[in-house]
Structure formats: C-alpha cells, structure tokens
Chains A and B, each alone.
Chain A
Amino acid sequence: MSSVARDQVPEPGALRTFRLPPTVSDRLDTGLSLKVTSMPRLPLVSVLLVLDAGETTAPAGREGVAVLTGEALRGGTTLRDAEALAEALEGLGAHLGVGTGWDSTTLGLTCHADRLPEALALLAEVALSPAFDAGEVEQARDRRLATLQQRRMSPAGLADDVFAHAVFADSSPYARPLGGLAGGVAGLDAEGVRSWWAQRFSPATATLIGVGDVDPAEFTGLTREAFGAWADNGGGRTDPAPATRRADEPRVVIVDRPGAVQSELRMGGTGVPRSFEPTLPLKVFNGVLGGVFTSRLNLNLREKNGFTYGVRSRFGQRRGAGPFSIAAAVGADVTADAAREAHEELRRLMDGGPTADEVASVREFMAGVFPLQMETASRIASKLSEQVIYDLPDDYYATYRDRIRQVDLAAAWEAGREAVPLDHLVTLVVGDAESLAPRMVGLGLGAVEVIAEDEVPPFYG
C-alpha cells in the first residue's frame, strides 16, 4: 500500500537564501557610466550599451528615425563596410543586438569571455564611428518599409497600433507605432540619421553594462581603451513624452476584417509612467487581474469559457504614461462575450478589490520567480538597463524580493484604482465587423465606430 500522503500538498523544506550577484558602478572621465556584475559560472559575457536615444526624441516629421538608426548602425563603420563588420562580429561568435524603445537605444552582444576585448572594441566602433553610407541607409529604410507593410497585415500588430492611436492624442508620440509611419519613414535619409545620432549618442547620457565572467576592474580598463575617446556632445537627458488621452468618453473601435476566424481584442487606456509609486503594489494588482496564468481574466476567458488561448493585462513600461491594456485573440463568434467578461472582471476587481489570498499568491509568485529572471547574463544586463533608463534606485533589485513580499491587499487595490482608467476605456477589435458591431453596441462600452481595413492607411501614412 502506498506510503505517500497523496491528498496533501507537500510541506516545503527550509527556504534557502538567494543573493543577487553584486553590481559594481563606475564612471569614466568622459561621463560614460559603467555597471558590472561578475558571474563566473560559465565563460560568457553579455555587454549592453544603453543610450538615451529613444523614439520619443525623434523630431517632428522624422518619426521612426531612432529605429532606422539602429538598423543603419549595422551598415558599416568608418573602418569596415557592412559585410566586414558582420564577419568580424560573427567571427567572434557574437550577434549584434539592437533594441530601440520609446526611451532608449541599446546595443548589445554576448560572447565567449576570452573574446571580450575584441568584442568591446567592435561594439565601440559600431556606436562611435558609424559610416551611415547613403546606400546602406537606403537599404535599411527599404527593409523598414517592408516591415511596416508586414505589420499592417498581422492582426495582432494592427490591433496594437490602432489601439494606441485610439488611446493617445496626436500630441503624444505614443499615438503612433514605435517605428513610425510609412509616409514619414520613406522620407528619412542618411543625413537625417547622422544628425539625430550626433545629438543623441553621448557618453554623459550613456551606460555600458557588463555581466558574466569578467572582473569589474578589468572591464573598466577594457572600456577605457575602447570608449575612452568618446567625447561628450553637451546634450542632456531627455524628458519623458507627453501622454494625453485622445478622448474622455469610453468607446469601441472595430477594424473590419471580413471573414476573420478570430478577433484581436484590446481593452484599456492611458496608464501610468514607470516612475509611478507605489509601483510594486500596482504590479501585484495587475498580476491578479491578468498578469499570471491563474489571473481572474485567464481563469474566466480561457479556463472557464474557452474563448481564447490566453489573455493578459499589462501596464506598458515607459518614462511617460504608457498604455494599460488587456489583450487577447478570441473566437470570432464569442468576441462580444469575451469583451463583456473582460470588462466585468476589471470592474469587479476595481470595485471589490482583490482577496488577501490572491494578493499573497501573486506576491509569492513574483518574489519566487525573480531569481529565474536573473539567471542569465543577458537577462541581468537587460534588468540593469531598466534601472538606467527609468532611474531606479541602486538597490532596486537587491531589495526587490523583500519589498514585493510586503505588499498588502489595501496597497495593491489602491494602486490599481489609481492607475486603471476605468472611466475612459477604449475597446478595440480587429475582426469581422458585420457580425460584431451589433453585438458590441449592447455592451455599454461606449459608441461603436467601424473602420474599414483599407481606411487604416491614412493612419499608417
């Protein structure tokens, strides 16, 4: 007979302490900041250069210039052309990663620790001595335009873009897609890329992060060799983008895709900036709503009703007030039901608050998975870059688990009530309007507007 008490959840053993590997900060005379975390278990190093060069700094009429510049940086340097550059990087076993966001551009790579000196020198060459050859920039621009065209035909990409446009006023850059609109991107050229790069790439507003099998002093030395000649251009830190909402009234927008087998659903509005406090209680609130698998939204829309493969809610992380959104792909015939259930779950949570049990569960989840989010060199580098971009305190990660465990029901509920724009909700559906529109009208989510799919191009330019 079984000796196993299968009816009982096993008791946990003794908790073992987790200590994040420490991060050492330093600064070169030129103003370039350094952050280094030694993690010598594997002979790998991840390097990330973080620049105050996001899309919010794109001048009017040149939207998309940050994203295009990121691509154009791969087009060669004053020392070697695009092909030689790719061969040099990949010959070191490294892929150059370029990330452009609203608030930053990041250039990064991961390589064998024995190859770090050469890799750092190449990274510096890419960032400081780009060629921005006219032909190369033109090629990069054509690929960007093709990407924009592709995005329009992906239901999820279209939904995200039109949702953003419905939520934010034209005075906010957040109303447009990050990479710009086709009309504007088509007008970008090498000169525009070069002048924006010259304004935004500066050591005084940049940080170089190194994580992995590297000693901090050695990393500083290598950085001085590779980046030491980089001169400050005198430009300061940029301001967060304005984030005014387009309309106060709740409303429903349907982008018509006749015959679509599934609808992309978005519901939300203007959220809060990354600097919002209390930030951790808000993360817990969002976890209960739609941030974890056992969230209220997912248990309802997926596990109870089978409307969707999965639903999530999130607050976009930006220095300005980014969007709050609930997102799901739902069955065409149950779209209105899914919208109604999502709205009711949101309203119920706002009105009645989470339960103590839900708050405890999410908080333990977030504290427990934190070490897993800090397991790889590139992931730690990415977390450190958030610290830089959003001005988080130096001990933010060191104290994260303790602080998240202190979040209680009242704090989480209060944060959610403050941050969720319940009275100004935008509901966006990409789907078959003929069958959807009549059923969306009755939900009390506001006036219903239908946009034909081929009427979206004016917005896309």
Chain B
Amino acid sequence: MRRVHIDFEQRELDNGLQVILAPDSTVPVVAVNLWYRVGSRNEVPGRTGFAHLFEHMMFQGSAHVPKNRHFELVERAGGSMNATTWFDRTNYFETVPSHQLDLALWLESDRMGWMVEAMTQEKLENQQSVVTEEKKQRYDNQPYGDWDERLQALLFPEDHPYHHTVIGSMEDIAAATLEDVSDFFQTFYVPNNCVLTVAGDIDPDHAFGRVRHYFGEIPRGDDIPPIPGQVNLPEVLGSTVRETVSTDVPLPRVYLAGRIPPYSDDRFYAAQVASVVLGRGRASRFYRGLVRGDRVAKDVGNFAFPLTAGASMFLARATGLPHVTPEDLERAMVREMEGLAEVTQAELDRARALLETQTLAALEEVADRADLLSMFAGLFDDPGRINRELERLQGVTREDLVRFAETFLGSDNRAVLTYIPEAE
C-alpha cells in the first residue's frame, strides 16, 4: 500500500512561540492553527468551565479589533474559523484563501497580545449567557446528556484534573469575573504556551517572516504553572463502581469505562486499536455480539480518549432495544470486552485496514493537517508523529491487545453507568 508523507519545518520565535510550516499548494488556501496548552485540566476548583468560557471571550474583540469584527473580516475574506476547548488544550483556527494569510495572523496576534484591553463586563455577561445556553442545548436538554459528567466523577478522584467536565458547572460559569479573564489570559495565553501551525499554499520562509512580523513583539510569559490537583494516580480503579440513573430517556443505555494509560504512553496505541476491534463498524465485536447476535442493542460504540494528564479513559457504550434489561446489556458488553483476550488475526487486519483509511482521510483537509501538526507538537513536542502514527498503530500485535484487555478491561477497572427510562 502506498504511504503518504507530510512535509513540514519547525522553527521558534525568541518569545518561545513554536512555529510549524507545512507547504502544500494543491489548493490556494492556507490554514492557521494555534494550539494553546490550556484546557479544563488547568482549571481550579470553583472555576470549572472557565477555559471554555475564555475561548468564547477570545472572539469578543481585542485592542485593535472591535467586537464581531473578527468574524466579519474572516467571512468577508472568504474564510472559515472556529475554536474548540478540550481537556488538555484550546485550539483556534482559520482557513482563508492564501492571499489573506496576513489577515489571519494579524487577528490571532492581536488577541494573543492585546486581548484584555478590550474586555468589558457587558461582553462577559453576554458570553456567560451564550455558554449557559450552549450547556443546556448540548447537555442538559439532551437524553443521556450528563453521561460524561457522571463517568468522569466515577473514574477520577476529586483532586484529579479530569474529575470535572470541559463545559463545567453553571454556577462556576456565572461566578467568573473580569479579573479571572485577565489572570487566565496573562498566565496561559502567552507565546511560550502556544504552537502556531501554518499549512497550505505558502512559501515557508515568507510565511515565517509574516509570523515573526505579527507575533515577534509579544513578550514571553512566565513559566506555565503546573496542572492543579493530583495528576498521578493508580493505573486502574481497583474495583467496579456503579451509578444508576432513572430518568427521562427513550431507551436503556449502559456505559462501561475504565482508566487507561495516557496518550503519551506507548500502550495507548493498543487502546486505539482495541476501540476499533471492539466498537467500530458492523464487523466489530460489539456490533456482531450485541446488535446482531444477542439482538439486545440498537447502537454501540467504543472510544479511547487521547488525554495526557496521568491517565486517560476507555469508554464502551450500548443503547438497549426497548425490551432489554440493563443487566443483559451489561453482561453482553462485559463478555465482548473481556473476549478481546481471544482476538484473532483477521480482526486485527480489519482494524489495520480501517485505521489506514482513517489516517489518510484525516490528511485530506488542510485545516486537519494543521491541527494534527499542532497537536503532536503541542502534546509531545514531536510534530513528526503525523508521519509515523499509522505505522505505530499497525504495529500493534495480538499480544499487545491481549495484554491491554487483561490489564485494563477487567472488573477491577470498571465504572458502570446505567440509564433506565423512568416509568411513566
């Protein structure tokens, strides 16, 4: 099978900003991606959800860019933009026609250097309201919408950074002040806490010159404070913990989750392959066993979360058909997860083929290439992983999977969250 190689260069400004340049002139567009190493893991008690609220504030204008101008300018330039907040990072990105590279760099540098001056109480209250509606729309007003909050609390102790969700609590969001915004900005939104990737229709030397032009005068910040709380914890939970919720849901659903090694650990490759063998596609163990064989589930899924602070999370989910008891559903899920210890070579080959297509498809869009380069640089200081990841995934052996199943998918490392439709 033919392989693909993404060319890139890695440089750094004096203020600590890491810059990655990945030229590819197939389409005359350029993606600018800023990956700040800050997310919900960096939040302190009483301020959960703040990293995400802060991300919203980054779109409320900066010293030289009035409110709404950022959106207007990028849209008018024919570009798209957004930002996302997750556990370990917050990323901001624009994709614009390549002759508008300066616009994207100017906008991003203005908010990296001069955001606080433009903040007002009115803007803060507006976005507190928007984020509150976001939480209601995506979590509170959705069946099973609080699953992540419940599972994270079961898996990670109170003083661990993954104990609370990215969206946080409404009370904490409401309690945020302008001073919090300013402190957070000065602590985390500094060039030495950021990776900037420019990918697409560029000449690397010219693009680096433009980056230095716009970002070079932003001063380096202090060293980044350590992640609050206790990051290190036992590799496995030590027992099975349970929570059952009887609520307004259409069908029963069971989540099984366990701690797994972090993304930075080589064993995480096995976790990724395991999630494909178990839960991806119609020939996966969960689909064959639960949806087809037993006819107990309507839909199933398995996920390995790519988290880095001490541990990560493996998650299996099955939604039951109306007549099915949660006990039957759970029993079937456990059978398939523990059955991974008898994984066949054919199953492994299927996973390898699916991962190959997935890895290639993830390189199709310039914005995705930029984000991957930023991610590998931001998490591991190793953007070259973009070109090695597939080989590592395909190098996972049967023995690796068996060891993973035995170590991490047993009853001594299991959080069980069950949703039962409330009797009418």
| Interface residues in chain A, defined as those with a beta carbon under 8 Å from any beta carbon in chain B | 2-4, 6-7, 9-18, 41-44, 74, 82-83, 86-87, 89-95, 110-114, 139, 142-143, 146-147, 149-150, 152-155, 260-262, 292-294, 299, 302-309, 329-331, 360-362, 364-369, 371-372, 375-378
Contact = CB atoms under 8 A, between A and B. Distances in A.
A112 B360 contact: yes
A16 B75 contact: no
Interface string B346-366: 100110011111001101111
A227 B29 CA distance: 38
Nearest to A299: B68
Contact of B143 (A87, A147, A154): A154
Contacts of B101: 13
Interface in B322-376: 322, 346, 349-350, 353-357, 360-361, 363-367
Given A87-B283, A329-B141, A306 B353 contact: no
Contacts of B130: 302-303, 306, 308-309
B67 interface: yes
Given A86-B282, A294-B75, 16 more contacts: A4-B213, A42-B4, A86-B283, A91-B349, A112-B353, A114-B1, A150-B143, A150-B250, A154-B142, A155-B142, A262-B140, A303-B68, A306-B129, A309-B138, A361-B75, A367-B78
A122 to B, nearest CB: 13
B126 interface: yes
Interface of B: 1-2, 4, 26-29, 63-64, 67-68, 71-73, 75-80, 95-103, 105-106, 110, 114, 125-134, 136-138, 140-143, 201, 213-214, 217, 248-251, 281-283, 287-288, 291-292, 295, 298-299, 319, 321-322, 346, 349-350, 353-357, 360-361, 363-367
Contacts of A42: 4, 360, 363-364
B80 A369 contact: yes
6 contacts: A10-B103, A43-B4, A91-B353, A294-B71, A364-B76, A368-B79
A357 B248 CA distance: 47
A368 B97 contact: yes
> 5 closest pairs, A vs B, by CB?
A368-B78, A306-B129, A93-B353, A10-B102, A86-B282
Contacts of B367: 372
Contacts, number: 228
A148 B43 CA distance: 40
A4 B141 contact: no
Contacts of A153: 143, 248-250
Given A153-B248, A294-B72, A82 B29 contact: no
B133 A90 contact: no
Contacts of B288: 83, 86
Given A44-B357, A365-B78, A371 B27 contact: yes
Nearest to A7: B64
Given A149-B250, A260-B141, A261-B136, A14 B64 contact: no
A139 B293 CA distance: 11
A299 B298 CA distance: 40
B141 A262 contact: yes
A90 B349 CA distance: 9
A93 B78 contact: no
B364 A375 contact: yes
B209 to A, nearest CB: 13
Contacts of A91: 283, 346, 349-350, 353
B365 A376 contact: yes
Contacts of A375: 27, 29, 364-366
Contact of A142 (B77, B102, B217, B321): B321
Nearest to A212: B364
A82 B142 contact: no
A344 B319 CA distance: 42
Contacts of A294: 68, 71-72, 75
A12 B99 contact: yes
A224 to B, nearest CB: 25
B47 to A, nearest CB: 20
A293 B79 CA distance: 12
Nearest to A376: B364
